Structure 1
Amino acid sequence: MAGNSPSSVALLNFFVFNTEYGPKEGEEHKKILYFYPPEVDLDTKIKRIGLSEAVVKFADTFSDKPCQSLHTQKARQVFFEPEPCFWMVMMASIPYKEKLKDGQVVTEYRDDYVQDSILESVLKQAYKMFKIFNGTFTTILMRANGEVESLKQRLDHFYSKYLLTLKLPQADILDVFNGIHFLPLDKNTYLRIQCFINSLEATFPFVKYTAFLYNEKLVWSGLEQEDMRIMYKYLTTSLFPAYMEQELQGTQNRPPSGIGHYGKFMTGPPDLSNDRNMGKLPRVFVNTEEIDEECYLMVYTALSATICMLVNVKSPLNVPLCRKLDTFLGPKMTKLATDISEQYSKRVAALNTTDPVFKYVYFNHMNLAQQTTVHIDLQKRSGVNIPPDILRLLGDINADLSRGNEDGETVVKTNSDYWVVGKKSDQREFYVVINQRNANLIEINEEVKRLCTTYLNSIFFLD
């Protein structure tokens, strides 16, 4: 049936295989470690993986860089080798629309609706998210004495749930950056938080690493940068929303954990009066003192402040110990949250005095700092204030700027009277979308300079 708008991009296949497994004819099925959708027959799985392996090997003869993508009329396939001989492949459909031409229905595929850089970022993110909750493929095999079935079970348990959360139609330039939103504070408040964390780690030595957030923005982290990046993604897109939903539905039913403060455990004991119930404590694998160090993730919140505490799994944890933690954290976190709230409210009010005619995305590769006004609700990717074709244009400009190591700038005027500017300078990238019909290039350039001065001079500290 003819439609006015193209279909959405959709996940067709996702699979993990090892090129060294099943080397003999008739043993090709041994290469398969995970395949989505699971109901696909074995013969098809073997053919898909065989084709992917052939494409990868064929590409190797022409370049010293690994194969990244394969384009066909109806699908786009991206490849990623996260560890030696382990390959991850994701196949997505190309959006299409049907229209009448000479009395017949003709299918028109929109190849430009799918961007390699964004799909590759989604695929790499899928690996990193697996790794932080399970460790690397190699580590899992080492701990299982080379038993491949153990790795298969881990992959199936994780990806059977994770892939259901993928929203490929909403993926955009923010997935490429996958940055961290920092909260700028005055230096005195920042130092108070630093002292609070030092006191916490000194009083409770089993707390090895910490991260402090306010309103889903990062204030301080003791984790390695890449680990914090993935942890931040998990917290802001999964744990926090799920917790808030439970709170709104009243399914938590948690009694007050203390008098005189608003603190409670987000992961950990749901009821501090019940010594037998430690609740859910996710296990994460971080790379600090050792590779793939396994830790419990304890998350504690008070008002809009949240602290993440990573505890080595060898440390004994129990509810009485958590009660002591609650007594320590609750009053201090409540006071800090109240003080930060005053600063935060003033800053938000100052920035929202007028409704700007522009939208921007900023990313710093050195510290992973990101700021954006492209989405009203950043985590749910809802309330987009610019058209989808402009979002795709941002992705295209980013891909062009990323191909070379040099700094550069791109300015585009669209048919719909949008000005789109992309700048790359000193490991920083900045993209602006301005809707000014009668503006010229000089005026747009001045507007971009003014925007940088107004919005981006206080990523970490307030003046």
Structure 2
Amino acid sequence: MSAMAKVSRAAFFIFNPSLVPDSVKPSEEELQDAKIIYYSPSCAPIEEKRSQVGMIEGLISFTAMFSGEEGPLRHIRTKQLAFSIMEVEPQIWMVLVMRHAVASDGTCDEEGLSEKTLQAVLRNCYNVFRLLHGEVQSFIKAQSMHKLFDLLEDFVPAFLETVVASDLGIFQELEGFHYSPVERNTCVSIHCFLDKVQEQFACVRHAALLYNAHLVYTNLPLDDMRVLYSYLVAFNGAVSSQKLNKPPFGRIPTAASQPGGGSSSFGRAFLLTEEEDFLLGMSRRAPNGPPSIFVPAVHLNSGVGQLVALTFKGVMLVLILEADAHVDARLLESLRETCNSSSGDGLSLAELQPLIVPQYQQIMEQEDEYRFVYYNHTNHALRLSNQASMSRSLLRSTGVTSQGPKAVEKPLLTPLHATLSDPKLKCREVSWKSADRGWICAKRWCDREFYLLLDGTSTSLSRCQEECARFASIHFSSIFMM
């Protein structure tokens, strides 16, 4: 993509083709309008909404006659637009419409937006909505279509603000965990600490512990934890405990984001001003008033719960409380005091944090010899190489940062990932080089894949393969699983 190229969203909409109006003899326009659950931008002309939804509905019905095992329609490309389509629930369709990149010469890059990448964006959009608000159909039954529209009018624009079209790529598809390495005894102590918290506070159903936004331990099912992790700390390959305080997130908590309100809890959290504070839970007590409580509901596969996140000197304790638990300032203050104060038995954040930090630093803050991206499909482990840098990234500033690919290299990883993932090709290794940059080597073995990024335009193919083999021998021989 040219440096002058621009990509932008055109529309996002949700529709249900089975919906019909309440009137006895509805007009053709009323029949079309009844199917539209939500359309963004909501200020778009009604003719545009009917045209877009009607076209997609017609194409879904037509292609269903020929799709067979391929499943329903997923993607459409026109000269200017890319449509990504997903049936997120029975009869509930989400559609994301993006404009192709337009270069400085006015031409469109019709292949610039990957089908799988846009599908990953849609999937994440639905997963996050379901996490915070439940299934669309369940919400309509419990509330109303009007309240759902109000909720989507707040959620969808906020979510789309986080979709940076020029950065769409492999990190939308490889949605996993940045794991924090800890020794066996420390892992056992963390497990015991979380068990102790659940014993002392019967309202705690699940718990997880992270350090520097890297997952250390969780007793949540992995599918639930992936969505929760993606929402709390992960953003386009990078992770930060203060993600929800940073743009394009960082919305102020409001009472309206609670059940029955007109807005979404998406992107809302307390501002972390100290090392020991609630990101989700309770604000610091105001000088002339009571503290503010913000504990959003979360919808997991195991049922509805209440989300609390407490930070302590780089450690984040994530707790899922029972849905019917009465959460007030007294409970949260007691929880903070119990977790943060030294207990004498080694089972508190104050005693575990000094153990976790050096173990993390020993592995994760060492500069890597190679630049790479690594992903393990078995435990969803995502790892980026560390390079020395004092520049400030979007999420944090540090001497050694997880960088992996450069900005200009990110779009190149997506087609390599698609090649390795294609069962028809059965390709285990692919290398790519252009005239103005070095090699990118992609390799997949069993459930593991990595992308090695080699600088130098004069590097030969044979040297590239030697470096790839050396990298694999260094890293693949010392992989551990949580």
Q: Structure 2 length as normaliser, TM-score?
A: 0.81
Question: Aligned equivalents of 2:405 and 2:200: distance in 1?
Answer: 49
Deviations 1:80-109 (A, max 9, x none): 11111111111111111343xxxxxxx211
Deviations 1:265-285 (A, max 9, x none): 222222369994352112111
Question: Aligned equivalents of 2:124 and 2:191: distance in 1?
Answer: 30
Change (3 A) 1:415 1:82: same
What's the counterpart of residue 424 of structure 1? 444
Letter of the aligned partner of 1:241 in structure 2?
K
Deviation at 1:385, TM superposition (A): 7.0
Q: Does 1:90 align with 2:96?
A: yes
Q: Does 1:396 align with 2:415?
A: yes
Change (3 A) 1:307 1:396: same
Question: Aligned equivalents of 1:272 and 1:346: distance in 2?
Answer: 38
1:301-312 matches, cutoff 5 A: 301-312=311-322
Deviations 1:233-265 (A, max 9, x none): 11114872344799xxxx9697x9xxxxx6332
Q: Does 1:45 align with 2:58?
A: no
Change (3 A) 1:91 1:458: same
Letter of the aligned partner of 1:373 in structure 2?
S
CA contact (8 A) 1:270 1:277 kept: yes
Aligned length: 432
What's the counterpart of residue 325 of structure 1? 335
Question: Aligned equivalents of 1:343 and 1:277: distance in 2?
Answer: 36
What secondary structure, in the 3-state scheme, does the structure 2 residue paired with 1:422 have?
A: strand
- Please, which runs of 5 or more residues in structure 2 have no aligned partner? 236-240, 251-269, 342-347
Question: Aligned equivalents of 1:231 and 1:93: distance in 2?
Answer: 30
What secondary structure, in the 3-state scheme, does the structure 2 residue paired with 1:435 have?
A: coil
Question: Aligned equivalents of 2:402 and 2:284: distance in 1?
Answer: 37
What secondary structure, in the 3-state scheme, does the structure 2 residue paired with 1:264 have?
A: strand
Change (3 A) 1:372 1:253: closer
What secondary structure, in the 3-state scheme, does the structure 2 residue paired with 1:63 have?
A: helix
Deviations 1:60-83 (A, max 9, x none): 122122111111111111111111
Deviation at 1:150, TM superposition (A): 3.5
Letter of the aligned partner of 2:232 in structure 1?
L
Cα-Cα RMSD: 3.0
Bigger shift: 189-198 or 56-65? 56-65
**Which contiguous aligned blocks of 4+ residues in structure 1 show a shift greater than 6 angstroms?**
382-385
What's the counterpart of residue 165 of structure 2? 168
Question: Aligned equivalents of 2:446 and 2:193: distance in 1?
Answer: 34
CA contact (8 A) 2:372 2:405 kept: no
Bigger shift: 190-199 or 61-70? 61-70
CA contact (8 A) 2:282 2:329 kept: yes
Deviation at 1:186, TM superposition (A): 1.0
What's the counterpart of residue 259 of structure 1? none
- Please, which runs of 5 or more residues in structure 1 have no aligned partner? 100-106, 257-261
What's the counterpart of residue 152 of structure 2? 155
Change (3 A) 1:379 1:421: farther
Deviations 1:100-154 (A, max 9, x none): xxxxxxx21122322222111111111111110011112213323xx43333333
Question: Aligned equivalents of 1:220 and 1:125: distance in 2?
Answer: 23
Aligned partner of 2:35 among 12, 31, 35: 31
Change (3 A) 1:396 1:207: same
Aligned partner of 2:281 among 249, 265, 268: 268
Q: Structure 1 length as normaliser, TM-score?
A: 0.85
Question: Aligned equivalents of 1:309 and 1:386: distance in 2?
Answer: 33
Question: Aligned equivalents of 1:378 and 1:433: distance in 2?
Answer: 22
1:48-87 matches, cutoff 5 A: 48-64=52-68, 65-87=71-93
1:238-257 matches, cutoff 5 A: 240-243=242-245
CA contact (8 A) 1:69 1:76 kept: yes
Change (3 A) 1:5 1:303: closer
